[in-house]
């Protein structure tokens, strides 16, 4: 039996001369994930549950809305080349497609925003980073939803 050290090992002769002693103790490592007094006591309520249910329900509806949308826009009737002002104007003349696009806009935006909220909660480590990223996310979401809704309802096919 033999010992081979691959890399320059950081393991020194602990029984021999130690870097640290009673007067010069090794630094204490704070457990970074410990629940401290600063950790909020309770964050209960049903918000996360409703969020979870919403992701699944909106997902099911989005399968129909998004796949149908992609099919109509990109595959049927000559594919993407047919899309133009006239095509959009024709579709939005019908309340059916207005409601379809409105539902898709709201569901996809809220679904995507809530998904990204989860991702931010996962990956942003500092409270400040979280705050800023979520602020940015919510601003962009509200802006896009409002602008999209406005366009769907006020679209004027005779605009010059």
Q: Which is nearer to ligand HEM, 69 or 89 (CB)?
A: 69
Partner touching 59 among other proteins, ligand HEM, none, CB below 5 to 8 Å by kind: ligand HEM
Calpha distance 40→17 (Å, rounded): 44
Binding mask 15-34 for other proteins (x = CB under 8 A): x--xxx-----xx-x-xxxx
Residue 66 vs 103, nearer CB to ligand HEM: 66
Residue among 153, 149, 150, 124 nearest 136 (CA): 124
Write out the binding residues for other proteins, residues 58-117 only, by CB under 8 A.
Answer: none
Phi (first) and psi of residue 40, to 5 degrees: -55, 140
- Within 8 A by CB and 6+ apart from 58, the residues are 107, 110, 111
159 forms part of the interface with other proteins (CB under 8 A): no
Q: Which is nearer to other proteins, 17 or 76 (CB)?
A: 17
39: contact with other proteins by CB under 8 A: yes
DSSP assignment of 8-77 equals: ------TTSS-S--SSSPPPPPPPTT---TTS-S---SSHHHHHHHHHHHHHHHHHHHHHHHHIIIIITT
DSSP class of residue 157? Answer: T
Q: How far is the CB of 59 from ligand HEM (least distance, A)?
A: 3
Phi, psi of 51 (to 5 degrees): -60, -45
In the bound state with other proteins, the residue whose beta carbon lies nearer, of 48 and 77, is 48
Q: Are 133 and 120 contacting, i.e. CB atoms less than 8 angstroms apart?
A: yes
**Is residue 52 at the binding interface for other proteins, with CB under 8 A as the rule?**
yes
Task: Using CB under 6 A, list all residues that contact ligand HEM.
Answer: 55-56, 59, 62-63, 66, 108, 111-112, 115-116, 118-119
* Residue 11 in contact with other proteins, rule: CB under 8 A: yes
Of 123 and 153, CB closest to ligand HEM: 123
């Amino acid at each position: 039996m033999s010992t081979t050290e691959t890399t320059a090992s950081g393991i020194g002769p602990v029984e021999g001369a130690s870097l640290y002693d009673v007067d010069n103790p090794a630094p204490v490592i704070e457990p970074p994930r410990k629940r401290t007094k600063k950790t909020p006591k309770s964050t209960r309520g049903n918000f996360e549950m409703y969020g979870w249910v919403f992701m699944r329900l909106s997902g099911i509806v989005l399968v129909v809305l998004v796949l149908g949308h992609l099919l109509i826009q990109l595959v049927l009737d000559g594919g993407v080349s047919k899309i133009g002002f006239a095509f959009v104007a024709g579709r939005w003349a019908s309340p059916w497609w207005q409601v379809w696009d409105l539902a898709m806009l709201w569901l996809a935006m809220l679904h995507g925003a809530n998904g990204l909220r989860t991702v931010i909660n996962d990956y942003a480590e500092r409270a400040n980073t979280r705050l800023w990223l979520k602020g940015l996310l919510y601003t962009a979401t509200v802006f896009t939803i409002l602008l999209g809704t406005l366009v769907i309802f006020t679209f004027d096919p005779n605009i010059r």
